[in-house]
Structure formats: structure tokens, C-alpha cells
Amino acid sequence: MTSSEIINFYHSVDTETLSKKANLVCESIYGNKVYLRGLIEFSNYCQCDCLYCGIRKSNPHVQRYRLPQQSILEIVKAGYKRGLKTFVLQSGEDSYYTTKMLTEIIEKIKLLTNNEAAVTLSCGMKSKNDYQSLKSAGADRYLIRFETSDPKFHQYLRGGISFKRRLKALEDLKTCGFEVGSGYMVGLPDETEQTRINNALLCNELELDMLGVGPFIPHPKTPLKTASLHNIELTIRATALARLLLPGANIPATTAAGSLDPLGREKVLQVGANVLMPNITPPDNKKNYLLYPGKICLDESGFECMGCLNNRIATIDKKLSLERGDAKTRLCATP
């Protein structure tokens, strides 16, 4: 189907039919495999002030932390021993970690994992030169969501940072040779159904390798604290649409989906998501990385989560895979 046929289909069917189709498309490419990525939230310092985010710089209630290189490497070592082949290093925009420090961490991860593991970064906007250095050091993938495809709304939500600048970062990452991930939140205040459709179409246009679609959950210490919380249905429909438009992309079942609904991750894994990201940040730190309230699995180490996730997805006939799981991107819908 072309992208306009997919949008027509999306409008004309109920959620169950949409979901079944998206699951079929996903299984035709990825079978019943769910790729695992170990998520390390290495710093909750951020110089940005995104209105939606619990760790924005203007929130004085956050207990800030930074993991030293040695701790990050120890977590990677433990994860690699348990079979993980992708490590996602996420943080606020924290210039304490210079590009030189990050390149050293990436190089050491590659050494520790015999070059077998993929390194994904999610540390916000940087210059093209910085992205190039990180790629040359061995980083494989980079995640940076555009959050919403409505330029005015984007600029408002991100404390004045323009949508054009965010897209430039995505373009730079692609030019530097990264597998590129982006995506958006679902259920932001004033968002319309058309915004959600435009978001999905933009992902298609960008030919993303990875695409995160997560529910927006209002944080009580942010300017959006009184925004309404939507149920998981919006995220289910958005995930299914994303899968239909980008059959080959890697799409995670987000922790936010699991936090909004106890079975949220299972639900989105049945409508096109094919990735889970157990949070292997030390419990003492991850409880301070609260982008939104009600985040799950704060007391467990991510390694305990791996066992739990295995049991959970067995209930929906899926199987965890410890492969690197590179994306099969070139399968985007044509206009």
C-alpha cells in the first residue's frame, strides 16, 4: 500500500482491524522476535527546559546524578555477560560529558564487547562534527525524537528550540552514517488526530531506522502538570499506523506505555512494536531519572526485568531475541 492508502485504511477501520494488520506486517518481517536493548540512563542533568519533561533544568526537585565512565562500563560488562547486544546510552543534554569523554566510553564498550554489541546514543542535539566523532568512535545508532511535527507547537514545547533545528540534527545524523531513530509523544495537550497522522507521515518521509511512539504522561513538577492523561488506545493506534508506514523499522514498546497501562507494552507489541528496552541503570539512579511520574521497574535491576519480560511476552506468543537486531529500513511506504 502507498502511504495515502495506509492513511485511508487507518481512517476506515476499527482499532482491532488496524492492530491485526499491523501485527501481520511486523511478523512478516520480524517473526515473533522481540529484540532486547539495555538502557543506561547515565546522567539526569539537562541544560534544556522542555515543558513536558520531569528532568528539565528548571525542576529544582530533581536529585541530579552523573554516572562515571567506570560505572557505565561495569553495567555494560554485566549486560554483555547476560547476552545483551545493544546498549542505549541516554541522558539529558549534559555538556559535562564532552565528545572526547563519550568517544572514550564508546571505544571501551566496543572493546569490552569484542565489537559485537551495538552502541546507541540518545543524548540530544549536538553539532555535526560531534556526531561525526561519535560515529567514528564506533557508535552505531542515535535516537532523537522530533516530539511533534507541528513546528509552532514544537518550539513552544521545547523552550524556544526550533523544529527546523531538530530536523537538522536528524539530517546530520543520517549524513554521518548512523542508524537514525526518532519519534514522538502521543496525547500532548492540544494535539489533534491530524497532528498524529502528520507525525507518522514525517517518520515515513525521514525513512527512519527506529521509531519511538510513547504516551505523554504529565509530570506534576512541570508547566504541563494539569494536562489530561489519555488512555493507551491512542498509543496503540499510533504504533499500528507507524508499523504500517515503516514496515522495516525497529519500534520499541516504551517504558512509558508500560507505565501508563500495566499491560501497555504487551499491547503495543501486538500491534507492530518489536523491541523492548530493559532499564539496566542502577536502581539508586533510575529512581531519579523521572521524565514522567509512575515509571515502572524502579526497584529492580534491569537484569531481573529481563526474566520478567520473557514471561510477559510468552503470554502474547512472542520470544525475546538477543540478536543485535539492526533495522530493515528500506521498506518504507511510497507516497
Interacting residues toward ligand SF4 by CB under 6 A: 46, 48, 50, 53, 55-56, 92-93, 124
147 binds ligand SAH (CB under 6 A): yes
| Residue 256 binding partner per list ligand SF4, ligand SAH, none, with a CB distance cut-off of 5 to 8 Å that depends on partner kind | ligand SAH
Residues in contact with ligand SAH, counted by CB under 6 A, come to a total of 18
Stretch that binds ligand SAH, among 2-10, 90-98, 228-236, 325-333 (CB under 6 A): 90-98
Stretch that binds ligand SAH, among 69-77, 126-134, 144-152, 280-288 (CB under 6 A): 144-152
| Residue 217 binding partner per list ligand SF4, ligand SAH, none, with a CB distance cut-off of 5 to 8 Å that depends on partner kind | ligand SAH
**Which C-beta is closer to ligand SF4: that of 51 or that of 280?**
51
| Residue 181 binding partner per list ligand SF4, ligand SAH, none, with a CB distance cut-off of 5 to 8 Å that depends on partner kind | none
| Residue 56 binding partner per list ligand SAH, ligand SF4, none, with a CB distance cut-off of 5 to 8 Å that depends on partner kind | ligand SF4
Residue 29 CA to residue 39 CA, distance in Å, equals: 24
Q: Is 124 left (phi over 0), alpha (psi -120 to 50) or beta?
A: left
Question: C-beta of 53: minimal distance to ligand SF4 in Å?
Answer: 3
Residues 255-294 as x/- pattern, contact with ligand SAH by CB under 6 A: -x----------------------------------xx--
**Which C-beta is closer to ligand SAH: that of 179 or that of 320?**
179
Specify which residues 214 forms β-bridges with.
185
What CA–CA distances, in Å, run from 329 to 31, 123, 128, 164, 180? 16, 23, 23, 23, 10
Q: Which residues in the 174-213 window bind ligand SAH by CB under 6 A?
A: 185
**Which C-beta is closer to ligand SAH: that of 41 or that of 140?**
41
122 binds ligand SAH (CB under 6 A): yes
216 binds ligand SAH (CB under 6 A): yes
92 binds ligand SAH (CB under 6 A): yes
**Which C-beta is closer to ligand SF4: that of 9 or that of 153?**
153
Q: Which residues lie near ligand SAH (CB under 6 A)?
A: 52-53, 90, 92-93, 122, 124, 144-145, 147, 185, 214, 216-217, 219, 256, 291-292
